[in-house]
Amino acid sequence: MKNSILKIKNQPNLVIGGFITAVIIFMALFAEVLSPYHPVNDADLMVSEEPPQISYLMGTDDQGRDILSRVIYGSRISLSIGIVTQLMNTIIGIIFGLSAGYFGKWWDDFVMGLTNIMLSIPSMIFALAIMALIGPGLINLFIALGMTNWAYTCRITRSQVLFTKSLDYINAAKALGYSNTRIMFTQILPNILGPILVIGTLGVASAILMEASLSFLGLGIQPPDPSWGGMLATAREQMFTAPWLSIFPGLAIFITVLGLNLFGDGLRDILDPHSYSKIK
Amino acid sequence: MKKIFCFLLSSIICFCFFTTNAQAAKKGGTFNFIAPYGGDLSSLDPHKTNRSQDYIVILNIHRSLYIWSSEKGKPVLALADSVDISKDRLTYTYHLKKNIKFHNGRGVTADDFIWSYQRILNPKTVSSSVRNIRIIEGADDFISGKSKSIKGLKKIDNYTLQITLKDVVEPGFSLYPPEVAILPKEEVIKRGDGFGVSPVGCGPFKFSKWVKGSEVVLEKFNNYYEPQKPYLNKVVYKIMPEAASRDIAFKVKELDATIVGSVNYPEYKRNPDISKNMLEIAELWTRVICFNVDYGPFKNKKVRQAVNYAINTKLINRKLLKGKAVNPVSFLPPTSPAFSENVKGYEYNPEKARQLLKEAGYEKGFTFECLGTDNSTWGVRAVEALIPMLRKVGITVKPVRMEGAAMATRAKTGNFQALIWSLDSGPDPLSALSRWKSDNKRNGGNYCGYKSAVYDNYLDLARKTTDENKKLDYLKKADQTFLKDAPVWFYNYNKAVMAYHPWVHGLQPMSVELMFQDLSGVWVDDKSPRKR
Amino acid sequence: MLQYVVKRILLFIPTIFFISLIMFFILNVLPGDATTMSGGLKRQLDEQTTANMRKQLGLDQPLHIRYFKYMKGIVKGDFGKSYLRNESVNLLISERIMPTLQISLAAILIAVGIGIPLGFISALKQGSWIDTLSMVTAVSGVSIPQFWLGLILMYVFSLVLNWLPPQGYGDGGFMHMIMPSVTLGVGYMALIARTTRAAVIEVLNEDFVRTARAKGISELAVNYRHVFKNTLILILTTVGLQFGSLVGQTVIVEKLFSWPGIGSLLVDSIFQRDIPVTQGCVLVIIGVFLIVNLVIDLLYVVIDPRIKYTESNR
C-alpha cells in the first residue's frame, strides 16, 4: 500500500491529470451550485452577445445566456459522452484487437474485415441510420459514437500484438503453460497500453466534437440543452465577430483532454511492468 | 444657320463619341461572384434542375421568354419585342426578337420555343418546370400523350409565336424563371445527359469551365442580342457554402460581391466603405412557424393568435438576426404587389396572449414540439429564442432539430405539431397565397392544414376577375383573413443583403432572390483588380 | 508472401460486397428520397412531378430488385447514374478523387514529417520542455475543430499577410494546397506525435533494448537500430488508418476552401439522398482504404521479418 502511494507520488502526470479531471467532474456534479445563472431559463435577448464582463465572466451567447453557466452545465453532457464512448471504444477495441492479433487465422481476417467496414462507412451515415431505425436519444448517441470508433483502437492494438507476441517473454510465458487469456491480458496488454491510452484519451476530444455534428442531425442533445461541442458548432460563424462564443467551450475541451491525457500517461507508467522497475 | 448646324453636328458627334467611349470604358474585366447555397451545383440544364444554386448560374447562360425586372417588380419581355393580347386575355401573340443567337451561332426562332416547352412537358425529361408550362392550353393532353403537340402553342411565322392560355393568368410569372429557358434542340440532342455539364443557351455568357465543387466559369458571348452587352469578359462563380470564408474572401478582394449573413451584417453596416455599396431588399420569402391545426391546442384560433401576441417578434429580428430581417405584417411581404399597407400585424402583448389563452381554456398553458433544421435564421435557433417568451404565458416549446430530408418528410405527412420554415411568398401573390387553399394538401405545401371557406372564396374571386385592381383587393383581403386566423407565427420576411466593392456597377435589387443577378448589365471600372 | 497478398485481395470482395449491402439497406431506410430533396428545402415539387421522377429513377421498384440492378452495374464497374445530376457516378467521382488524394497525401506528409520527429524527441527527453510543448500542441491539435483552424489560417495568411489565396483550387498548384492541407493535417500530426512518443517509450522499456544498453552500444545506435524499427510498425499502422479515413473526412476543409474533393460530394449526396453517388463515394473510399492498409500490412513484414503472415495463418 505504502509502495503504491509512493509510486503515485512519483508520477506528476498522474497527479496533475487526475486533479484536472477531478475538478471537471466536480464541476459537472455540482453545476447547480457553481453556475451563476441557469443555462437555459435565464435567457434574455436584451443582453445577447455581450462580451465578457463582471456580470457575465465569459460573456453571453446569441440568445443572451450566460456562457460560463452553459460551459459548467455543458460539462455534464460532454464529459459523459467523451468518457463513456471512449471507454466503450477502448474496451471493444482492445478485446477485438488483442484476440485478432494473438490468434490470427480466420478470426483475424474476420476482425479486420469488420474494422474495414467500420472505418470506411462515414459516421454520419451510421448516425442517420440509427436515427431512422431506433430514433433519437442520448443512449442512441452513445451507441452511434461508441460503436463506430473502436476500429481504430482495435487496429492499433492488433499491430502492437503482432510485434509483441514474438518477443522472448511471451514465448517464455507460453512455455510456462499460461493460458491464452492470461498471456493476452497480463503479459501482452500491459506492454502495449501506452499507445492505446493515448488514442483513448485524445479521442475524447473528437467524441465531444462529433457529438455536435450528430446532434445537428437530430441524434442526441437537442437545444436548448448545452454541450461544449454544440456551443462550438453554433458559434462557428461568429468566430471573428464574437470570439468568446467559441473560445470558452473550446478551452473547456482542451483542458479536459489535457487532463485526461496526462492522467492516461501516468496510468500507463504505473501499469507498465517495465516502467515499475525503472522507478524503483 | 450653318453655325448652328455645325454645332449640332459636332455635339451629336461628341455625344456619340462620349457614349461609345463610356460604353467602351464599361467593357472588359472578370467578375468573381459566388454560388453560396449548399454545396456544388447539380446541373446547368435549366429544365432538369430545381435548385436555387443552379439558377444563379443558369440565368446568365440561358434566357427565357420573359425576364424579371427589378425596377418594375414584375416580369417583362426578354426574347420578344412586343406582345398582342386578345380581348379575353387568353391569347398572347409574341413578336420575337430577330437577332437572338444561340452560343453555337444559330438564330433563335419560334420553333425553338415550341421545342423547349415540349421538352419540359415530356414526361421522359422529368422536368420540375412542368407546372410553369401547364398554364398553356393543351399541356395536359400533351403530357398524357393524347396529342403530339401542345394545342395552345402556335408558330405563326419564324418570329411570331402565339400562346393560348388555359385560364386568365399573367403568363410572365410562369414564363420568366430560368427553369423555362429556350434551348437549342440540336445541342441538347447531341450532348444528351452531358448537356447539364456543358450547356448551350442564348444568354449573355457562354459556358466555359466547371471545376466541380469549386467554381464555374462563364465567358462573354459576343453575339448576345442586347446591343453592347454584356460588358464583362468573364464571370467566375465560386462555390462557397461557408459564410465565414465568403467574408474573408470578400475582404481580400477575391470576390467582387458577396451575400451578407446576419452575423456580418452589423459589421458591414458599420464599415463606411462597405455600407455605401450594399443592396438591401425584402425578398419574397416569408419565415413562419407553421402550426399544425389538427394538433389539440392549435385547433383553436385564439391559441394561435395568443402565440403571436406572446412573442416579441421585433426583438428577435433585431437582436437574434441583428436587424437582417423585415418585421412581418402578414404573409405577403412589402415587395409583393398585394401587400396590405395599412394593416398592422401582431404586436407584442403578453397580457392579451394570456387573456386569449384563458378564453380558449388553456389558462395553464400547454406544451408543443417545434421541428426545425440547423438553418441559423429559420431553424431551431429561432425556436430557442421563443422559449423564455412563451414560458411567460405558460406555453412550453420544445425545439426538435432535424436533418432536412427527414423534416421535409414529416412536414408533408403532417406528422408534427409545429415546424419552422421559410416559404416563398411571391412573385405572383395569387399563386403564393394558393398554398393555403383548403384543397391544397400538406404535400402540396399547406403544412398547417389550413382550411377557411372565406379565404378560399377571396382567392376564387381574385382568380376570376379581369380587373387588376379588384384582383389585388381580393388578394389583400385573403391575406388579411390569413393574418386573423393565424395558422402560423409570423416571424419575418428575409432581408437579403449584398455587399460589393466600389468598382462594381449595375447589380440589381432582385426581390425574387437577390442572388439571381442578371450580369449582362453589370460592369467593373478600372479600380477592379481584375479589369484586364 | 504472394499467397498472402492474393488472399488479402480476394478478401476485398466479401468486404466490399458486405459494405455495399449494408449501405444500400441503410440509405434506403432513411426518411425522404431524392425527389423530396431535388429542390433543396425551399422549393417543393408538385405530386405529379414527384411521382414521375420516382418512376424514372426506379424508386418505385422493390428494394431487392434495385439492389440486384445496382450490383449488376458494380460488377461491370458501373456505379450508376446520379439521381439529381443526370451524370454518371464514375465520372463525378473520377473528377473529384484526385484533389482529395492530393490534400490527404499532403496532410499526412505534414503529420508524419512533424509528428514523428516530435514524438521521438519527446520520448527520448521525457519531462523536458519540448515534451511538454509537444503534449500541449497535440492536445490543442485534437481539440481545435478544423473549421476554426482553417478560418484562422485564412484570416492570417490571406487577409492579414496576403500570402496565400483564400480559397479555390487554382490549377491544383502548391499555393492553393497549403492551407487546406495544414488544416487537415494538424489533428493527425497531434495524434501521430503522441502515439509515436508512447510507442518509443514502450520500446525503450523493453528488455532487449535495456540489454543492448547494458552491453555498451552507444545510446544513439540503440535509438536507430532497435527503437526506430520497432516503432515504425505502430507508426505505419497509425498512418495507414489516418490516410484511409482522411479520404472520407475532408468535407469541412473542402467546403471552407472551395476545394473540389470527394468529401463534399459524399456529404451533399447524403443530405440530398442521391443514393448512387453516396454508394459510389463510400465504395471508392473503401477501395483506397483497403489498398493502403494492405500495403501497410506488407510493410510490417519488410520491417520486422519476425511477423510472418503465412505462418500465423496456417
Whether C57 and C172 map to the same domain: the answer is no
Instruction: Report whether pLDDT(B15) > 80.
Output: no
pLDDT at A138: 82
- What pLDDT digit, counting tens, does each position of C77-103 carry? 888 889 888 889 999 999 899 999 899
- The chain-wide mean pLDDT, for chain C, equals 83
pLDDT at A280: 32
CB under 8 Å to B416, separation ≥6 — which residues? B292, B369, B371, B410
Amino acid at B285: W
**Residue C215's pLDDT band (cuts 50, 70, 90):** low
Instruction: Report whether pLDDT(B524) > 80.
Output: yes
- Domain for residue C145, yes or no? yes
Instruction: Report whether pLDDT(B56) > 70.
Output: yes
Least confident of B87-96, B197-206, B348-357, C48-57: C48-57
Task: Kindly report each contact of residues C31-34 with a partner whose C-beta sits within 8 Å and lies 24 or more positions away, as own/partner.
Answer: C31/A132, C31/B405, C31/B406, C31/B409, C31/B410, C32/B404, C32/B405, C32/B406, C32/B408, C32/B409, C32/C273, C33/B405, C33/C59, C33/C273, C34/C59, C34/C83, C34/C84, C34/C272, C34/C273, C34/C274, C34/C275
Whether C193 and C264 map to the same domain: the answer is yes
Interface check for B247 against chain A (CB to CB < 8 A): the answer is: yes
Contact criterion met (CB below 8 Å) for C280 and C270? no
Of B43, B245, B409, the CB nearest to C257: B245
Q: Which of the other chains make 3 or more beta carbon contacts under 8 angstroms with chain A?
A: B, C
Of B263, B402, B403, the CB nearest to A238: B263
Instruction: Report whether pLDDT(A279) > 50.
Output: no
| Dihedral sign from CA coordinates of C253, C259, C263, C266 | positive
Instruction: Report whether pLDDT(C44) > 70.
Output: no
Residue after which a domain boundary falls, among C45, C75, C105: C75
Instruction: Report the length, in residues, of chain B.
Output: 532
Which cell numbers in the block locate residue A255?
Answer: 483542458
Q: Among the residues of chain C, which ranges form H helices?
A: 2-29, 34-37, 47-57, 63-75, 89-124, 129-143, 146-153, 174-205, 207-215, 219-222, 229-246, 251-257, 262-272, 275-303, 309-312
- CATH at C197: 1.10.3720.10
Whether C8 and C146 map to the same domain: the answer is no
Instruction: Report whether pLDDT(A275) > 60.
Output: no
Instruction: Report whether pLDDT(A271) > 60.
Output: yes
In chain C, what percentage of residues exceed pLDDT 70?
86
pTM of the model: 0.91
Residue A52 per-residue DSSP state = S
Whether C166 and C252 map to the same domain: the answer is yes
pLDDT at C311: 42
- Domain for residue C81, yes or no? no
Whether C68 and C105 map to the same domain: the answer is no
- What pLDDT digit, counting tens, does each position of B445-481 carry? 899 999 999 999 999 999 888 888 999 999 999 999 9
Residue B80 per-residue DSSP state = E
Distance CA C95, CA B262 (A): 35
Contact criterion met (CB below 8 Å) for B44 and B51? no
- Domain for residue C85, yes or no? no
Distance CA C45, CA B18 (A): 50
| Dihedral sign from CA coordinates of B270, B273, B276, B280 | negative
Whether C216 and C261 map to the same domain: the answer is yes
How distant is the Cα of C158 from the closest Cα of chain A, in angstroms? 15
pLDDT at B356: 95
List the B91-96 sheet strands across, edge first.
Answer: B80-85, B91-96, B160-164, B153-157
Residue B470 exposure: Cα atoms within 13 Å on the Cβ side: 8
How distant is the Cα of C176 from the closest Cα of chain A, in angstroms? 23
Q: What angle, rounded to 10 degrees, do the helices at B453-464 and B468-485 form?
A: 170
Whether C12 and C106 map to the same domain: the answer is no
Residue after which a domain boundary falls, among C19, C45, C75: C75
pLDDT at C287: 87
**Residue B280's pLDDT band (cuts 50, 70, 90):** very high
Interface check for C235 against chain B (CB to CB < 8 A): the answer is: no
Question: For the residues B249-258, what does the mean pLDDT come to?
Answer: 94
Instruction: Report whether pLDDT(C224) > 70.
Output: no
- Domain for residue C83, yes or no? no
- The chain-wide mean pLDDT, for chain B, equals 91
Query: C33 exposed, middle or buried (CB, 10 Å; 0-12, 13-18, 19+)?
Result: buried
pLDDT at B171: 93
Decide if C207 and A169 are in contact by the 8 Å CB cutoff.
yes
C-alpha B151: how far from chain center: 30
Interface check for A258 against chain C (CB to CB < 8 A): the answer is: yes
Which candidate in B37, B43, B45, B50 is best for mutational testing of the C interface (most C CBs within 10 A)? B50
Which cell numbers in the block locate residue C239?
Answer: 498512418
Helix or strand run (H / E) with residue B489: strand B488-500
C-alpha B394: how far from chain center: 38
pLDDT at B10: 58
How distant is the Cα of B415 from the closest Cα of chain A, in angstroms? 15
**Nearest chain A residue to B319, by CA:** A45
Question: pLDDT higher for B368 or A164?
Answer: B368
Whether C169 and C265 map to the same domain: the answer is yes
- The chain-wide mean pLDDT, for chain A, equals 85
Which cell numbers in the block locate residue A210?
Answer: 462529433
Contact criterion met (CB below 8 Å) for B459 and B430? yes
Instruction: Report whether pLDDT(C128) > 60.
Output: yes
Distance CA B318, CA C239 (A): 50
Instruction: Report whether pLDDT(C301) > 80.
Output: no
pLDDT at B9: 56
Contact criterion met (CB below 8 Å) for B500 and B256? yes
Instruction: Report whether pLDDT(C180) > 60.
Output: yes
pLDDT at B454: 96
Complex ipTM above 0.90?
no
Interface check for B249 against chain A (CB to CB < 8 A): the answer is: no
Which cell numbers in the block locate residue B247?
Answer: 467574408
Query: Cis peptide before C165, with omega less than 30 degrees from 0?
Result: no
The total of structural domains in chain C comes to 2
Whether C167 and C58 map to the same domain: the answer is no
How distant is the Cα of B233 from the closest Cα of chain A, in angstroms? 34
**Residue C227's pLDDT band (cuts 50, 70, 90):** low
Contact criterion met (CB below 8 Å) for C45 and B408? no
Distance CA B375, CA B407 (A): 12
**Residue C310's pLDDT band (cuts 50, 70, 90):** very low
Question: For the residues B202-231, what does the mean pLDDT come to?
Answer: 94
How distant is the Cα of C234 from the closest Cα of chain A, in angstroms? 6
Which cell numbers in the block locate residue B227?
Answer: 446591343
Whether C187 and C264 map to the same domain: the answer is yes
Interface of C with B in 114-153 (CB under 8 A): 150-151
- Domain for residue C227, yes or no? yes
Distance CA B362, CA B303 (A): 8
Radius of gyration of chain B (CA): 25
Q: Which of the other chains make 3 or more beta carbon contacts under 8 angstroms with chain B?
A: A, C
Q: Per residue in C262-285, is it b (16+ CB within 10 Å) or e — as a string?
A: bbbbbbbbbbbbbbbbbbbbbbbb
Domains of chain A, earliest start first? 10-34+67-273 (1.10.3720.10)
Helix or strand run (H / E) with residue A92: helix A67-103
- What pLDDT digit, counting tens, does each position of A10-43 carry? 677 888 999 999 999 999 999 999 999 999 888 8
pLDDT at C207: 65
Question: For the residues B189-202, what does the mean pLDDT come to?
Answer: 93
Q: Which residues of C touch B285 (CB under 8 A)?
A: 42
pLDDT at C53: 84
Least confident of A119-128, A193-202, C119-128, C305-314: C305-314
- Domain for residue C89, yes or no? no
**Residue B59's pLDDT band (cuts 50, 70, 90):** very high
CA dihedral defined by A7, A8, A12, A15, rounded to 10 degrees?
180
Least confident of A247-251, B255-259, C74-78, C277-281: C74-78
Instruction: Report the length, in residues, of chain A.
Output: 280
Residue B431 exposure: Cα atoms within 13 Å on the Cβ side: 16
Domains of chain B, earliest start first? 43-51+61-191 (3.90.76.10), 281-494 (3.10.105.10)
**Nearest chain A residue to C205, by CA:** A274
Residue C228 per-residue DSSP state = I
- Domain containing C25 equals 2-75
Instruction: Report whether pLDDT(A170) > 80.
Output: no
Query: B327 exposed, middle or buried (CB, 10 Å; 0-12, 13-18, 19+)?
Result: middle
- Domain for residue C87, yes or no? no
Report DSSP letters for C172-212, one per residue. S-HHHHHHHHHHHHHHHHHHHHHHHHHHHHHHHHSHHHHHH
Which cell numbers in the block locate residue C287?
Answer: 477501395
- What pLDDT digit, counting tens, does each position of A68-90 carry? 999 999 999 999 999 999 999 99
pLDDT at C307: 62
Query: Cis peptide before B427, with omega less than 30 degrees from 0?
Result: yes
Q: Among the residues of B311-452, which ranges form H helices?
A: 313-315, 350-360, 380-391, 404-413, 429-434
**Residue C242's pLDDT band (cuts 50, 70, 90):** confident
Interface of A with C in 130-189 (CB under 8 A): 132-133, 152, 155-156, 159-160, 162-163, 166-169
- Helix, strand or coil, per DSSP, at residue C160: helix
Contact criterion met (CB below 8 Å) for C282 and A120? yes
Query: B300 exposed, middle or buried (CB, 10 Å; 0-12, 13-18, 19+)?
Result: middle
Beta-carbon neighbour count of residue B83 at 10 Å? 17
pLDDT at A93: 94
Whether C254 and C168 map to the same domain: the answer is yes
Contact criterion met (CB below 8 Å) for B248 and C151? yes
Contact criterion met (CB below 8 Å) for B288 and B313? no
Whether C31 and C170 map to the same domain: the answer is no
Number of helices (H), then strands (E), in chain A: 14, 0
Question: For the residues A231-255, what does the mean pLDDT come to?
Answer: 90
**Residue A274's pLDDT band (cuts 50, 70, 90):** low
Contact criterion met (CB below 8 Å) for B481 and B452? yes
pLDDT at C313: 38
Question: pLDDT higher for B326 or A138?
Answer: B326
- Domain for residue C91, yes or no? no
Contact criterion met (CB below 8 Å) for B217 and B198? no
Contact criterion met (CB below 8 Å) for B200 and B2? no
Q: Per residue in A140-158, is it b (16+ CB within 10 Å) or e — as a string?
A: bbbbbbbbbbbbbbbbbbb
Instruction: Report whether pLDDT(C312) > 50.
Output: no
